[in-house]
Structure formats: structure tokens, C-alpha cells
Amino acid sequence: MKLNIKPLFYNLIVLWPLVSFASDTVEQDAYAAMVAKKIKTVMAQQHIPGMAVELIIDGKEHEYYFGVANRETKEPVTRKTIFELGSISKIMTGLLVAQEIDWAKMSLSDPLKKYLKELPTSFNDITLQDLATHTSGLPHQLSHDIQNKEEALTSLSTLKSEYDPKEEWIYSNVGAGLLGYALEAATEKSYDKLYYRHIMLPLGMVNGVEVPPSLQKYMAQGYTQNNTSAYSVNANLFPAADGVKASALDMQKFLKAAIGLPDTPMRVLYPMRLTQSVFVKIGHDFQGLGWQIHPIIKNKTSALKNVTDEIVLGPVGISEIYERPTYDGDALIDKTGTTNGFRAYIAVLPNRKSGIVILANKNVPNSAIVKPAREILLGL
């Protein structure tokens, strides 16, 4: 740790990527060939209709687009194609909280009940940090019958958790959703408006929880693992957990900020670094505010490329919770996202000014998107 911080199959023609933003022809061809080989392979294996890759190596941007956004219309994937991000939304939520902390309007030590007073006494010991780091003891999901905020809070009024806060790491959409509710209560603004004002505007992004009517034509059709059309994610319940949508270009801009390239606005950069700091140790890995942090041992990256399809939701015993979170710019800092019809992954190596985003309009196994992304990023 380095420093404390402030505050079905497709024709080859369809699968061949559109490429731009390479620094020179030789480098462009080398990157395009490597990316195309890995992405075409996984698309064929998993019958993925379309994928987008945003890649930054040593501060230089590259973009690659494959396949179609919709099997019926055959509309190709482009930089304007909009995907559901799933749980990548959690790092956006962490960033919004970190901004409020940077502006001295909230604190990670604040109890959740400071903002959601209607919650029962069983929530007394849960802090905003617990919610952001999955140490709240709250379950992964609520009943599928629950559709909105009011129903969620009513359900939580009788919830009896099996785990105590800070004792077990449990990946919790409920916790992230409540963090979003706390943000809304503190600012008196909807999550979508907060995201627009504090992330989209400063970074020049155009899509959020609600896709503007004028941009709906760019929304990709998602597909389930059984290759059927998927219904859209219900952002009415926990938008802060899994409700954000973004175009490939949006994610290129977010990726630059997540790496911390020189043109990142200060109002985003310092809070971003806080979200990427180590708060909790779980086994060999670490938890930030939404992000997961994987220390890199020199010349030993093979373990990071050995990706399985196992999804660890917990409970997992917590090794340590750090009083003074630290930031390691040499680590691989990443986050996955999944919805009914989409898969997404973002990873950054800040000190190398490098990172990658892969977006797919099909719900595929974990290794299908994380493994090629890490092989590309770490291979370059």
C-alpha cells in the first residue's frame, strides 16, 4: 500500500472490430489483432451478439466494437451503443458518497439511521462505510416481489439478519441500495439527478439511470444465457446497486477518470481515489468503496488471469478492517457487473495509466468477460 489519500456464431466480417484512437499504425494493428482474437473467440464460444472494448494503455485511448446491438435489427455495436452496467453502478455510488465526504457533507462513519430514521433499531450499528464495503451483515437480495423504495423499507422494518455488521463480508445489493437511499435523503435529490450532476456533467457522459428518449434508439437488446431476449433491469428498487446504463463512449470517459488521467476534474479525482482505497481485507484481496483491489506481485500475474466462474457472495470472514484506508496505484482495481441480459467489467492499473472496459449484451459466465479483459490489460 502506497499512500494515504485525501479526501450462436457470427461471420468474421461482423466480428471484426471498428478501431480508432490508436497512437500509430503499428501499435494500432498490434492491439487490434490481440483484442479481436480474444473477443471473437469468446463471442463464438458464448454466442454473444455484440461487445464493446474501451482500452487505455499508457494514457492512450483505443476503442473496438464487435457484432450487433440487436439480433433482429442487425444494428452494429458502436461507441454510442448503450449497455446496462449492473453492479458497476456500485462504484458510481461509492464515488457519489466520496464526493459528499470530500465536501464535508457526509461521513463514512455516519450511521445509516441518520438518513433513514424509519429503519428499526436493528440497523443502529450499520454505517455508510459498512454499506459501501459489504460489511453491513445485510443479505444479497430482497424478495423478488419487492419493486420500489417504499416496499423495500417496509420489508426491512421486519428484517432479521443472520450476521452482525463488520463480522462477515456479504456482497449485498441491499446495502448498496440503502446507500443510495441515504444519498437521496442527505441531498434531497434523486439518485439519477445526483449521478447526472456530479459524474455525468463533469466527465461529459450522457446516459444515466434513465436513458433520454432521444437516445433510446442506441439501447442494446440484452440476451439471457439461454439466448432469449431479456427484460430490462428494474431501476426503481435499487438504482444505486445496479441501475446505471452507459454507452461505450460514456465508459471510455469514466475509465479515464478511474485511471486518473491528467484531465480528470479534481471534484472527481480525489473522491475516486478514496473509492479505490483499501478498507477491508478478505482473504488475499481487498474491498474498496464498491471497487475490489488485487495487489500485484512483480512478475506474478498468472493468478489474476486464472479466472473461474464462481461468484462469491459470502459470507466470507473478514481478516481486517483498516482504520486508515490506503491507496495502491500499482494494484489491479476492478469491478464486474451483471443484469438479466448484460455483462460488464472495468479494471484499472492507475500507476501504469492503463485500464479496460468490456461491455456485452448477453448474460455470460464470469470468466467469459473477466478473463479476456485481464489477459488484454495485463498482457499489454
Q: Which of 10, 31, 65, 87 is catalytic?
A: 87
State residue 186's pLDDT score. 98
Domain boundaries, the chain: 8-263+365-380
The band of 269, judged by pLDDT with boundaries at 50, 70 and 90, is very high
187-230 pLDDT, tens digit per residue, is: 999 999 999 999 999 999 999 999 989 999 999 999 999 999 99
10-55 pLDDT, tens digit per residue, is: 333 333 344 433 333 434 557 899 999 999 999 999 999 999 999 9
**Mean local confidence (pLDDT), 234-262:** 95
65-110 pLDDT, tens digit per residue, is: 999 999 999 999 999 999 999 999 999 999 999 999 999 999 999 9
State residue 298's pLDDT score. 74
Q: Which of 31, 65, 171, 181 is catalytic?
A: 171
Residue 57, phi then psi, degrees to nearest 5 = -125, 120
Let me know if 87 is a catalytic residue. yes
- Find the DSSP H helices in the chain: 12-15, 25-46, 89-102, 128-132, 149-156, 173-187, 191-195, 201-203, 239-242, 248-259, 266-275, 302-305, 366-379
What is the pTM for the complete model shown?
Answer: 0.91
Q: State the CATH architecture for 8-263+365-380.
A: 3-Layer(aba) Sandwich (3.40)
What is the Cα–Cα distance from 165 to 346, expressed in whole angstroms? 28
Residue 74 backbone zone (phi > 0: left; psi -120 to 50: alpha; other: beta): left
Q: Is 300 in contact with 330 (CB distance < 8 Å)?
A: no
334-371 pLDDT, tens digit per residue, is: 999 999 999 999 999 999 999 999 999 999 999 999 99
